[in-house]
């Protein structure tokens, strides 16, 4: 049967196949990331670059000091870090040939076209600025001397058996080696198994109510971890309860795939977000979510007052206890965000590029390391929920030989890439969530490589032997440089430690 429009045009009804509506849950970008993550993420770190290194020359003190300076942003490189080759520079706009044969009308049309393009470009920039908020001018907080005098100088450290300098890291020092400990297995360990009378582990039990910060140091006094606790704020318990309620609500709404849980870190749902690098990504990227509802949940959590406050407190702790390390993080992210406007910081002034909301409802990690994080850096973990922290929810630092009480609302900073850690389970009627903040070591590598892939950067660098030698020394000494960013405390005697 023919049909006609009001203008008299004939058309036929649709008699083709039935079209199905678009699936809102389908996310091709996430599927690609999942597939590439199955590949070994650190193949370019655990094996040599695809070029032959020339002999490494001896490193002088002046070279070491200069080579380890944080890298400047694009267009403001230091003398020790050469500018990227022309093939990576943004091309300059091509001027119009005014001597050509184009007519005035064509020139006017071209001008309108350029103005429209500029207007569109400016609009996109404003949109990105609006999405970033204050973070469009990323500026990490500076340490406060009064905080250091109040908390750091008067602290009584706990000695641990972990010597950070003996950690297993890749030769360039950007990530830790992936170590699989089959003896521990992917399971939860109870408090009785770890510190009970028949326990084979001989761990030390550390009571802690979160009210007083406690540093944990290596046998040589290097600051390994900080039991930061919480601010001296009477409203903090209420804020922690609000944060837990937000995660409970998120857990009830989140969409997950059948094979998402359990994973190598534990039997709980995790929502990572922020900026990451690795997992097959060609460059640092904003982490996406597997569904629109998950994207909405993450946006709500990131914008909520409780997690904004927790992020601010965590950064203040890091700046107070390890100011050099904090500045190192801030310099790298500052350069990254200035170079790439598409990257969006999840918290305005945080030196941590990514976060993970662990939705429980009884979050307890299996023994593991987060080997892709910066090995000499820290991961911040905040415990939340409603549980008895003296009977469950402890954090276990396996390499340090410590089992530590971890109350709700408290924060601990630790080198998660090199120290195996886990949690004891809470009771069936209790709830426990956690909020982790961290930065991938590959982000620091990307910045040091002047925003290029390692193979591209080293192929270019090979053309200049002097610069090659300088970078080879940096790679060789990066691990020791990173450890030098951590403060050193007086090691407590055995009598003081008990």
- Say how many C-beta atoms besides its own lie within 10 A of residue 226's C-beta: 25
At residue 457, the pLDDT reads 94
82 pLDDT exceeds 50? no
Task: Report, as an integer, the average pLDDT of 385-389.
Answer: 98
At residue 287, the pLDDT reads 94
Dmax over CA atoms of the chain, in Å, equals 100
At residue 90, the pLDDT reads 32
79 pLDDT exceeds 50? no
pLDDT in tens, 175-188: 999 877 666 778 89
Task: Report, as an integer, the average pLDDT of 404-420.
Answer: 97
Give 265's DSSP letter: T
241 pLDDT exceeds 80? yes
At residue 150, the pLDDT reads 64
Task: Report, as an integer, the average pLDDT of 460-468.
Answer: 92
Token code pair at residue 113: 């076209």
User: How far is residue 81 from each of residues 28, 51, 215, 376, measured CA to CA in Å?
Assistant: 37, 19, 35, 22
77 pLDDT exceeds 80? no
Percentage of the chain with pLDDT > 90? 59
Confidence class of residue 65 from pLDDT cuts 50, 70 and 90?
A: very low
Separation between Cα atoms, residue 258 and residue 254, nearest integer Å? 13
Site of tokens 């990572």: 272
Higher local confidence (pLDDT), 397 or 9: 397
Asked which of 43-57, 138-152, 256-270 is least confident by mean pLDDT, the reply is: 43-57
Nearest to residue 322, comparing CAs of 378, 397, 395, 399?
A: 378
Separation between Cα atoms, residue 344 and residue 129, nearest integer Å? 9
Higher local confidence (pLDDT), 113 or 485: 485
Asked which of 40-44, 219-223, 310-314 is least confident by mean pLDDT, the reply is: 40-44
Separation between Cα atoms, residue 443 and residue 433, nearest integer Å? 27
List of E strands, 107-221? 158-159, 204-206, 214-217
Confidence class of residue 321 from pLDDT cuts 50, 70 and 90?
A: very high
Task: Report, as an integer, the average pLDDT of 424-436.
Answer: 97
At residue 479, the pLDDT reads 97
98 pLDDT exceeds 70? no
Higher local confidence (pLDDT), 6 or 232: 232
3-state helix, strand, coil in the chain (%, to 5): 35, 15, 50
- Say how many C-beta atoms besides its own lie within 10 A of residue 395's C-beta: 24
pLDDT in tens, 295-307: 999 999 999 999 9
Give 469's DSSP letter: H
Task: Report, as an integer, the average pLDDT of 93-114.
Answer: 51
Nearest to residue 341, comparing CAs of 126, 99, 115?
A: 126
Q: Which helix (H) or strand (E) holds 433?
A: strand 431-438
| DSSP track, 277-303 | --TT-SS-EE---SSHHHHHHHHHHHH
| Strands laid side by side in the 421-423 sheet | 204-206, 402-404, 395-397, 421-423
At residue 264, the pLDDT reads 73
Higher local confidence (pLDDT), 2 or 188: 188
Bridge partners (DSSP) listed for residue 303: none
Nearest to residue 359, comparing CAs of 228, 263, 238, 237?
A: 263
Q: Which helix (H) or strand (E) holds 240?
A: helix 236-253
Q: What rounded mean pLDDT belongs to the chain?
A: 79
At residue 3, the pLDDT reads 62
Task: Report, as an integer, the average pLDDT of 413-427.
Answer: 96
Confidence class of residue 26 from pLDDT cuts 50, 70 and 90?
A: low
Nearest to residue 398, comparing CAs of 193, 252, 103, 157?
A: 193
Separation between Cα atoms, residue 147 and residue 115, nearest integer Å? 52
Separation between Cα atoms, residue 184 and residue 399, nearest integer Å? 12
Query: Helix or strand or coil: residue 354?
Result: strand
pLDDT in tens, 202-215: 899 999 999 999 99
Query: Helix or strand or coil: residue 31?
Result: helix
451 pLDDT exceeds 90? yes
At residue 123, the pLDDT reads 57
At residue 92, the pLDDT reads 38
Higher local confidence (pLDDT), 181 or 291: 291
Q: 433 with 244: CB under 8 angstroms? A: yes
Q: 376 with 479: CB under 8 angstroms? A: yes
Query: What's the full length of the chain, in residues?
Result: 498
Confidence class of residue 314 from pLDDT cuts 50, 70 and 90?
A: very high
At residue 46, the pLDDT reads 37
pLDDT in tens, 333-370: 999 999 999 999 999 889 999 999 999 899 999 999 99
94 pLDDT exceeds 60? no
Nearest to residue 464, comparing CAs of 51, 33, 38?
A: 51
Higher local confidence (pLDDT), 257 or 20: 257
Separation between Cα atoms, residue 295 and residue 184, nearest integer Å? 35
């Amino acid at each position: 049967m023919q049909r006609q429009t009001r203008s008299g045009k004939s058309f036929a009804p649709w008699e083709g196949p039935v079209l199905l509506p678009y699936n809102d849950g389908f996310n091709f970008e996430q599927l690609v990331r999942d597939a590439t993550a199955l590949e070994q993420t650190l193949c370019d770190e655990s094996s040599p670059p695809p070029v032959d290194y020339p002999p490494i020359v001896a490193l002088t003190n002046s070279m070491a000091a200069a080579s380890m300076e944080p890298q400047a942003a694009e267009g403001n490189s230091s003398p020790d870090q050469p500018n990227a080759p022309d093939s990576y520079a943004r091309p300059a706009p091509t001027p119009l040939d005014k001597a050509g044969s184009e007519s005035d009308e064509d020139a006017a049309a071209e001008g309108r076209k350029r103005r429209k393009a500029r207007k569109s470009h400016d609009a996109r920039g404003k949109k990105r600025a609006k999405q970033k908020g204050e973070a469009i001018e990323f500026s990490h907080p500076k340490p406060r001397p009064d905080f250091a005098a109040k908390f750091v100088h008067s602290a009584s450290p706990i000695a641990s058996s972990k010597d950070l300098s003996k950690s297993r890291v890749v030769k360039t020092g950007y990530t830790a080696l992936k170590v699989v400990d089959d003896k521990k297995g992917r399971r939860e360990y109870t408090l009785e198994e770890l510190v009970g009378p028949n326990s084979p582990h001989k761990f030390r039990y550390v009571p802690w109510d979160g009210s007083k910060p406690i540093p944990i140091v290596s046998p040589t006094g290097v600051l390994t971890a900080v039991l930061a606790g919480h601010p001296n704020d009477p409203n903090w318990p209420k804020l922690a309860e609000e944060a837990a309620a937000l995660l409970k609500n998120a857990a009830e709404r989140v969409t997950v795939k059948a094979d998402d849980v359990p994973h190598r870190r534990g039997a709980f749902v995790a929502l990572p977000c922020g900026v990451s690098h690795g997992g097959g990504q060609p460059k640092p990227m904003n982490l996406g979510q597997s569904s629109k509802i998950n994207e909405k949940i993450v946006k709500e959590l990131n914008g909520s007052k409780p997690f904004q406050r927790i992020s601010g407190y965590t950064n203040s702790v890091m700046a107070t206890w390890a100011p050099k390390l904090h500045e190192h993080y801030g310099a790298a992210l500052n350069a990254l965000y200035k170079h790439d406007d598409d990257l969006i910081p999840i918290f305005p002034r945080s030196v941590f590029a990514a976060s993970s909301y662990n939705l429980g409802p009884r979050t307890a990690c299996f023994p593991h390391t987060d080997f892709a994080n910066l090995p000499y850096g820290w991961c911040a973990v905040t415990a939340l929920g409603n549980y008895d922290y003296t009977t469950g929810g402890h954090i276990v630092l396996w390499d340090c030989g410590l089992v530590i009480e971890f109350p709700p609302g408290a924060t601990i900073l630790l080198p998660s890439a090199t120290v195996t850690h886990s949690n004891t389970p809470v009771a069936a009627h209790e709830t426990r969530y956690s909020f982790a903040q961290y930065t991938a070591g590959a982000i620091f590598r990307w910045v040091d490589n002047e925003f290029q892939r390692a193979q591209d950067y080293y192929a270019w660098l090979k053309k200049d032997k002097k610069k090659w030698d300088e970078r080879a020394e940096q790679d060789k000494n990066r691990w020791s440089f990173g450890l030098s960013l951590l403060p050193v405390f007086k090691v407590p005697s055995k009598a003081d430690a008990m």
